[in-house]
Amino acid sequence: MVVVGGGLAGLRVVTELRDRGYAGQLTLLGAERHPPYDRPPLSKAVLSGAADNSTLDADWTALNVQLLLGKTATALRDVIDAGGVVETDAGFLDFTGCVIATGATPVRLPGAGRQRVLRTIDDALALRAALRPDARVVVVGAGWIGAEVATAAATVGCRVTVVEATDAPLGGVLPAEVGAPTARWYADSGVDLRTNTRVAAVHDARVELDDGTLLPADEVVTAVGVRPETGWLAGSLLPVDRAILVSPELRTALPPVYAVGDCAAWESARYASRVHVEHWDTALRAPAVAAANLLGGRERYDPVPYFWSEQFGRIVQYAGYHRVADRLVWRGDSKDSSWTVCWLRRDSLVAVLTVDRPRDLAQARRAMERGEQVDADRLADPNLALRDTLAR
Ligand code: FAD
């Protein structure tokens, strides 16, 4: 078996294959020179200086995996039911089963000036060294990563400007009315947030906005999203629509090939839609399903998606899939220190976002997993435990 991609999802696949009794040859190929490590700490503990690395625990001797680090898959070829070939910059790897876990790569902006991104441990250590008191830092994008970078830069004492193309922070992923209250967090931390502002190009020491304004910058951090790493699959006949398209079993259109993590979009029966989630929990959990099915199982992956972010001293958590919702219910006032937003479809909870309300998150997640209905009027009362607002 060959697993392509040495991140969390790749490591979880090889671990699950061994835990489930697979005793044959196993190769894990990763383009980075580092053994698999966790990415969430990069924009948190690593950037703040509380940690220098986030290597994931793995007993490589017990796993008995051929670990090919610093090696890149360049093509997938000759795939038939019985197997195929992964072409790499270090030769060919024959397989009977293959899992693609190549993750995603940050999108960059036009322009020849230096722009940093934050995806790898090397990016994080280099950015950390560049964040000095008084440095003028322009962060492009007020999404999850942009908010966390702005938090770290402001904490160090940088002069931080965040440029966001939409109406509100998190505008690329959440409705403006939900992201808008977080604008205050930027202001309270001394960060200059500019919404409805687009970057035309990054030049040396300057960011050019599309109205021609030039923002001086000692450091530019581009955090405008990622693109699944699928370019190497061109010509493989594998259906890709931004991400690799997989079935509920996480199988691609080529039977011995599976895909998991940031690079894959699965068909969800729960949401009657194709779901693509670029978050840690998916990279953690989907591999168990792919490994089980590679070994002859018939498991389906259909979770309530979950992720969290730590920004400006707050824990923001999200569970569910709000795109299928038909209304929104607030629990608490967004001017308060903690609050929750719930999305409903008819009387069922389909998504929740919490700010420093972890109990709401846990109880809502459980309710969504069980498909329980809520009483929307009671749900709006933040003083009632969320589980006590479920319709019995
Ligand atoms: P990746 O972690 O991207 O791993 C893929 C690996 O495959 C990479 O090492 C890549 O180099 C390698 N690769 C790519 N192409 C090839 C190829 N052709 N050949 C060989 N190897 C290849 N999620 C949350 O839920 N909460 C958070 O707080 C959070 N914080 C984050 C902070 C940062 C800075 C980042 C970058 C991400 C964060 N995430 C967070 C997202 C989460 O880390 C990702 O969803 C997760 O890492 C995805 O894991 P993956 O294994 O699918 O992909």
Tens-place pLDDT, residues 178-206? 999 999 999 999 999 999 999 999 999 99
Distance, CA 10 to ligand 1 centroid (Å)? 10
Distance, CA 2 to ligand 1 centroid (Å)? 18
Distance CA 295, CA 64 (A): 18
Evaluate whether 114 touches 126 at the Cβ level (below 8 Å): no
Distance, CA 8 to ligand 1 centroid (Å)? 7
Whole-prediction pTM value? Answer: 0.97
- Has residue 392 got a pLDDT over 90? no
| pLDDT tens-digit series, residues 319-343 | 999 999 999 999 999 999 999 999 9
Residues facing 93 on adjacent strands: 86
Task: Ligand 1, residue 124: give the atom nearest the CA.
Answer: 34
Distance, CA 294 to ligand 1 centroid (Å)? 22
Distance, CA 103 to ligand 1 centroid (Å)? 5
If you take atom 2 of ligand 1, which residue's CA is the nearest one?
Answer: 7
- Has residue 379 got a pLDDT over 80? yes
At residue 320, the pLDDT reads 98
| pLDDT band for position 256 (cuts 50, 70, 90) | very high
Q: Which residues lie below 8 Å from residue 354, measured CB to CB, with a gap of 6+?
A: 316, 317, 318, 338, 339, 340, 341, 360, 361, 364
Task: Ligand 1, residue 41: give the atom nearest the CA.
Answer: 32
At residue 269, the pLDDT reads 95
| pLDDT band for position 272 (cuts 50, 70, 90) | very high
Q: Is the four-CA dihedral 210, 162, 185, 344 of positive or negative sign?
A: positive
Average pLDDT over every residue of 293-300: 97
At residue 391, the pLDDT reads 84
Task: Ligand 1, residue 263: give the atom nearest the CA.
Answer: 52
| pLDDT band for position 282 (cuts 50, 70, 90) | very high
- Has residue 28 got a pLDDT over 80? yes
Average pLDDT over every residue of 151-166: 98
- In the block, tokens 């405008």 appear at 224
Distance CA 98, CA 1 (A): 6
At residue 133, the pLDDT reads 97
| pLDDT tens-digit series, residues 66-114 | 999 999 999 999 999 999 999 999 899 999 999 999 999 999 999 999 9
Domain 313-389 is in which class?
Answer: alpha beta
Tell me what the pLDDT averaged over the chain comes to: 97
Task: Ligand 1, residue 231: give the atom nearest the CA.
Answer: 18
- Has residue 311 got a pLDDT over 80? yes
Domain ranges of the chain: 2-105+226-294, 108-222, 313-389
SS (H, E, C) the chain: CEEECCCHHHHHHHHHHHHCCCCCCCEEEECCCCCCECCHHHHCHHHHCCCCCCECCCCHHHHCCEEEECCCEEEEEEEECCEEEEEECCEEEEECCEEECCCEEECCCCCCCCCECCCCHHHHHHHHHHCCCCCEEEEECCCHHHHHHHHHHHHHCCEEEEECCCCCCCCCCCCHHHHHHHHHHHHHCCCEEECCCCEEEEECCEEEECCCCEEECCEEEECCCEEECCHHHCCCCCCEECEEEECCCCECCCCCEEECHHHEEEEECCCCEEECCCCHHHHHHHHHHHHHHHCCCCCCCCCCCEEEEEECCEEEEEEECHHHCCEEEEECCCCCCCEEEEEEECCEEEEEEEECCHHHHHHHHHHHHHCCEECHHHHCCCCCCHHHHECC
- Has residue 168 got a pLDDT over 80? yes
Same fold, 2-105+226-294 and 313-389: no
Instruction: Give me the architecture of the 2-105+226-294 domain, per CATH.
Output: 3-Layer(bba) Sandwich (3.50)
| pLDDT tens-digit series, residues 117-129 | 999 999 999 999 9
| pLDDT tens-digit series, residues 233-247 | 999 989 999 999 999
Task: List residues near ligand 1 (CB under 6 A).
Answer: 4-10, 29-32, 39-40, 42-43, 72-73, 101-104, 118-119, 145, 229, 232, 261-262, 278-281, 283, 307-309
| pLDDT tens-digit series, residues 344-368 | 999 999 999 999 999 999 999 999 9
What's the topology of domain 108-222?
FAD/NAD(P)-binding domain (3.50.50)
